[in-house]
């Protein structure tokens, strides 16, 4: 799957070359974001709708900032707080907004598959999945890979694009927590493994997917050992507000067994990269002090969201194939 002129619905099946194309493009936009004037007119005159059926301040702001820095006009509808309620036809909502003359839709939806469904309703509009249910969160996977490559490239004194995917070869990535319900985990695993990393997961039995058959991961037998093994530790939010809490006896037991506590942090390699897609449950999956250690790159992930989303919008739209 190539990103250019295409929808971004999932990272599953995306080739290493396509991933690198996005990361390299994001790197050039990262430079733009360091300038005093942070705008480039690449998408001037294009209309991007940001359509969030689910609350998400940071992803929405990140996408809208990205679109504006590319010069696009942004139509924003925070559906979660508007009149659109659960049960309104997805088709009705999207075709109504499409009547405004859209080029792209950035869609966040609580239901898995919503972005793919929307892409069928408006085939002439490019659809960017900003998180669909428990399925995929492709731009999070991309910005996580971008962040890891950026940090490793800095250490090696090269640029990310010079390094290609070489810095991912043999890289040990551990993803911890609520894998079962996490769209971030599904996108991260696809990205890291396609780029050449070795991925392990660690979670209580109830928070692993029912089947990991076909997933390019192994399950860590011992969490403490896995922490000492890892070059990158990706923590996930325990979505206890959505009932994930009932999959474990208590939040405190989860913290005791799979939380990155201060005691466990001492097991980590000194140069480890600790990540979290946010928002964090401080004191649940990650100790508050650990979250603020220098190895923790959480704010850097947020910052990288903008250039990565600029790259996604640019590649999807700037080379948009006209539909006959």
- Rounded Cα distance between 152 and 173, Å, is 13
Cβ-based nearer residue to another protein, 60 or 180: 180
d(CA 152, CA 275): 14
With respect to another protein, which residue has the nearer C-beta, 76 or 117?
A: 117
Q: Does 211 bind another protein (CB under 8 A)?
A: yes
Nearest alpha-carbon partner for 281 in 254, 248, 247: 254
Q: Compute, in degrees rounded to 10, the torsion defined by CA atoms 225, 201, 184, 91.
A: -170
Q: Which is nearer to another protein, 144 or 231 (CB)?
A: 144
- One DSSP character per residue, 262-307 reads HHHHTTS-TT-EEE--S---BTTTB-HHHHTSTTB-HHHHHHHHHH
Candidates 20-28, 82-90, 149-157, 263-271; binding stretch for another protein (CB under 8 A)? 82-90
Give the nearest distance from C-beta 48 to another protein in angstroms: 22
Sign of the alpha-carbon dihedral angle for 77, 78, 81, 86: positive
CB 135 → another protein: shortest distance, Å?
A: 3
Question: Which range of residues in 108-116, 153-161, 191-199, 300-308 is near another protein by CB under 8 A?
Answer: 108-116
Neighbours of 294 (CB within 10 A): 6
Q: Please tell me the distance from the alpha carbon of residue 85 to that of residue 64, in angstroms, as a whole number.
A: 23
DSSP 131: E
Q: Which of residues 170-199 bind another protein (CB under 8 A)?
A: 180, 183, 186
Residues contacting residue 300 through CB under 8 Å, at least 6 positions apart: 147, 150, 151
Determine the Cα–Cα distance for residues 210 and 265; give it in Å rounded to an integer: 29
Q: How far is the CB of 251 from another protein (least distance, A)?
A: 21
Query: What is the distance between the alpha carbons of residues 274 and 180, in angstroms, rounded to a whole number?
Result: 20
| Residue 140 in the binding site for another protein (CB under 8 A) | no
If one asks whether residue 108 binds another protein (CB under 8 A), the answer comes out as no
Query: Which of 135/276 has CB closer to another protein?
Result: 135
- The binder of another protein chosen from 5, 71, 133, 283 (CB under 8 A): 133
Do residues 161 and 27 lie in contact, with contact meaning Cβ atoms separated by under 8 Å? yes
CA 85 to chain centre: 26
**Contact flag: residue 213 with another protein (CB under 8 A):** yes
Would you say 34 or 210 has its CB closer to another protein?
A: 210
Q: Between 209 and 283, whose beta carbon lies closer to another protein?
A: 209
Residue 300 Cα to chain centre, angstroms: 13
Out of 60, 69, 109, 309, the residue judged to bind another protein by CB under 8 A: 109
136 binds another protein (CB under 8 A): yes
Q: Which of residues 237-296 bind another protein (CB under 8 A)?
A: none
Binding of residue 90 to another protein (CB under 8 A): yes
Figure out which of the listed residues 33, 56, 65, 111 binds another protein, where binding follows CB under 8 A. Answer: 111
* In the complex, least distance from residue 109 CB atom to another protein, rounded to whole angstroms: 7
Contact 315, 25 (CB under 8 A): yes
Using the rule CB under 8 A, which residue among 8, 79, 114, 173 binds another protein? 114
Binding site for another protein (CB under 8 A): 12, 86-87, 89-92, 109-114, 116-117, 132-136, 180, 183, 186, 209-215
């Amino acid at each position: 799957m190539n990103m250019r002129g295409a929808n971004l619905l999932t990272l599953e099946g995306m080739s290493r070359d396509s991933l690198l194309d996005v990361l390299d493009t994001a790197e050039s936009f990262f430079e733009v974001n360091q300038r005093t004037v942070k705008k480039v007119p690449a998408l001037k005159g294009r209309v991007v709708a940001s359509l969030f059926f689910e609350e998400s301040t940071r992803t929405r702001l990140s996408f809208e900032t990205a679109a504006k820095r590319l010069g696009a006009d942004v139509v924003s509808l925070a559906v979660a707080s508007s009149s659109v309620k659960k049960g309104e036809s997805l088709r009705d909502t999207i075709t109504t907004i499409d009547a405004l003359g859209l080029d792209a839709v950035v869609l966040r939806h609580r239901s898995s598959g919503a972005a793919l469904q929307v892409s069928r309703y408006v085939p002439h509009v490019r659809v960017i999945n900003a998180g669909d249910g428990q399925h995929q969160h492709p731009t999070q996977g991309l910005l996580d890979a971008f962040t890891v490559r950026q940090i490793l490239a800095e250490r090696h004194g090269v640029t990310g694009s010079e390094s290609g995917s070489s810095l991912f070869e043999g890289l040990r990535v551990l993803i911890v927590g609520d894998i079962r319900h996490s769209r971030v985990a599904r996108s991260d695993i696809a990205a890291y493994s396609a780029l050449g990393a070795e991925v392990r997961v660690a979670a209580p039995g109830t928070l692993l997917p029912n089947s990991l058959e076909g997933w390019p991961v192994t399950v860590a037998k011992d969490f403490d050992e896995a922490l000492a093994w890892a070059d990158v530790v990706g923590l996930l939010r325990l979505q206890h507000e959505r009932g994930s809490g009932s999959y474990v006896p208590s939040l405190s037991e989860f913290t005791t067994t799979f939380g990155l506590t201060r005691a466990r942090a001492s097991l980590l390699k000194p140069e480890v990269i600790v990540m979290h897609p946010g928002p964090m449950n401080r004191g649940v999956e990650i100790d508050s002090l650990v979250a603020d250690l220098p190895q923790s790159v959480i704010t850097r992930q947020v910052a990288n969201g903008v250039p990565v989303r600029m790259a996604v919008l640019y590649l999807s739209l700037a080379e948009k194939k006209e539909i006959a």
